[in-house]
Structure 1
């Protein structure tokens, strides 16, 4: 990627992600320091607050900031996140953690969809945009691997409050990189719209387009696979395989490695086949991987056999989730215009995270009460049903534009040519 604007925006994303990763580790240590044995409850509540902010705040802020220039909005949210990170080491009670986490995640729920819509507006060529999406996905996966390692290295010479300073540095570096890029101003509106209409605008656009209705179902597939991995990997590794923190890191690295592999190959694959084919293949991979995981857990293998099974299943789930998630912004851009792109990306951000409010409890509560195999089977059933819905509502091959054909102007739901 040789686009100067994207290079600076991508550097902003990378340093902000590293800051977020350090914050995750530091927040866990802060919770343990303040709550002791109840640290898990504190972190669980903080994660719930995070998801609630993502689901409910994103569309509200997209509607409220519709006239704010993109660069000003991104810099302001980076500065706000830096301020929250700077304040966290000085909290004296748990409720203050909850309040600051909500503010932090509300800022992230504003920043992320706005950043994604800016990338969509900056890169007009479809293949170049796909390469950018691949790099962005790889940044997320590498951050999940690199941040804990960086945090561990820093903790060998510093106390954990210093990690918050690393987070502050990450967000401020992101703001500085964005400041150096010339971005489009706020889109012109032909007539003012009521705030309520702006809040629901992105969701209405998603519901009106067949491929985006399919995406809503595919979001559930991703949430099912990701929920199982993120919630229950620690249980599988600890209880079935008898491994500790190193084993957990290896298992999660297997999942991240599969996602990285898919993100690396996606730009070339999308040159010769459609988004529909790639994304539905990813959904089938997720559903099959979850079903195989249920069988794996029912058999309760241990030792080397268990590790071989996990080392095959977790990369497959990583590949499947990336095949669904990475091309999704292409659909969003194709069905939006400069005037409504921010609302559409915010709607997808909100609705995709809403799936986790279902799959996280299924993975955790059912796994704890009825058994891990039952939880995996429930998630496999959910993923299979969502995949069948997506297959039925998405137009058949040949009725959609994809990377293997000459670039065409896409059409918005209003029937007007897009940018």
Structure 2
């Protein structure tokens, strides 16, 4: 898998991603401490609101930026967004009011919503070979998982010698180094395409392509399945470990590390697995696995009300490990689907649509996990999320047919016979790899 790092451009972009992620991880720790300094016991409410603002920024801003990203100089745009994020992070240590946290978080996450999909849409152009791109997706998944493990440990080590305010400087440095690394490489030029229509048409283009493509409609349903499994871990780990089991902060970190470890195992295994099996089969199996793990956990908890911690604790660690495995196996191949579902000039808009729609799923599952976890026994919360996960799989099966890959036979009654797209075609029907674009606005009905 590491052989793909021999590509100089990708190697530096991957390093930029890692450094920016570490900076963001330090920001997460510092922001929690800042919220506690300003709000005391209400810090959880402040952080919850900040998390909701983050998701709203992701959902609202990404499609707008995606509409115009392909028309802008890619390299300059990425550097500018890194510099904007660095400038905003530089202001955070000087915050003195809670509302200021909310404003700065919205601005910072809006810049991230502009940067991340554009960055992700660049990688397929840097690595045109699908096998290399698959390895890059697995490396990206590993980077996210390692960040979740390393950043808290790095922050803890730094806090022994510096104030938490200085952690923000690590965030600033991360974004500045990321900008420098992007500056140091030559990126493929985005295809310049003149688009008809107004701002609304351009802003919604990515979402329209996404929702008109069967495999991407299936991906959206699988995004919900993955968000259901992930939200249970992120929201309820501390509730279960400290509230139900009466354990400490170290055990919370260990449980989250198990989830990350499972995700890394899947990321390492996926490149070879995807060489032998289609994406659809792997992703569906992983989503069903997620639902099954949640269902088994629900059944176990419903019959173990009086079980000792010595029984529940190992079961929780194993469950979190398996959830991480399934979560990563659903999420990691998504870039391959996006890559083959749009022309190069539309990829920024389609990646932005995925970024926004997937985070909309999290915007639903985050509060749902919190509300159900507080109102119901944990066994019923697991059961509810198992049902949500499996229902999402059923929707994906319905909207993503198994035979939609390969050349698709379709007609062009709307085009004149001498149109360049019909050159060499007898009549107006032909077959080719199908993507939604200006000449193909709807997916053709299956024949037979």
Compute the RMSD of aligned alpha carbons: 1.5
Aligned to 1:205: 209
CA distance in 2 between counterparts of 1:43 and 1:302 reads 32
Structure 1 stretches of 4+ with a deviation exceeding 3 A read: 190-193, 414-417
Cα distance, 1:148 vs structure 2: 0.1
CA distance in 2 between counterparts of 1:49 and 1:191 reads 32
Q: How does 1:346-361 map to 2 (within 5 A)?
A: 346-361=352-367
Q: How does 1:368-407 map to 2 (within 5 A)?
A: 368-396=374-402, 399-400=404-405
- Contact preservation (8 Å) 2:195, 2:202: no
Aligned to 1:406: none
Aligned to 2:299: 295
CA distance in 1 between counterparts of 2:40 and 2:271 reads 46
Cα distance, 1:277 vs structure 2: 0.9
CA distance in 2 between counterparts of 1:410 and 1:3 reads 28
Q: Answer yes or no: is 1:340 the counterpart of 2:363.
A: no
CA distance in 2 between counterparts of 1:16 and 1:81 reads 10
CA distance in 1 between counterparts of 2:160 and 2:195 reads 58
Q: Answer yes or no: is 1:271 the counterpart of 2:294.
A: no
- Contact preservation (8 Å) 1:335, 1:410: no
Q: Answer yes or no: is 1:180 the counterpart of 2:203.
A: no
Aligned to 2:314: 308
CA distance in 1 between counterparts of 2:361 and 2:176 reads 31
* Pairs aligned (count): 409
CA distance in 2 between counterparts of 1:271 and 1:180 reads 33
- Contact preservation (8 Å) 1:69, 1:184: no
Moved more, 263-272 or 311-320: 311-320
CA distance in 1 between counterparts of 2:242 and 2:105 reads 29
Q: How does 1:9-408 map to 2 (within 5 A)?
A: 9-298=13-302, 299-300=304-305, 301-396=307-402, 399-400=404-405
CA distance in 1 between counterparts of 2:176 and 2:43 reads 29
- Contact preservation (8 Å) 1:263, 1:322: yes
Partner SS state of residue 339, structure 1: helix
Q: For residues 16-69 of structure 1, give each alpha carbon's deviation from its aligned partner in whole angstroms, at most 9, with x where no partner exists.
A: 000000000000000111111111111111001001001111101222444211
Partner SS state of residue 340, structure 1: helix
CA distance in 1 between counterparts of 2:333 and 2:245 reads 35
Partner SS state of residue 246, structure 2: coil
Cα distance, 1:395 vs structure 2: 2.2
Aligned to 1:5: 9
CA distance in 1 between counterparts of 2:405 and 2:434 reads 11
Unpaired runs of 5+ in structure 2? 407-431, 441-448
Aligned to 1:411: 434
Cα distance, 1:333 vs structure 2: 0.5
Cα distance, 1:185 vs structure 2: 3.0
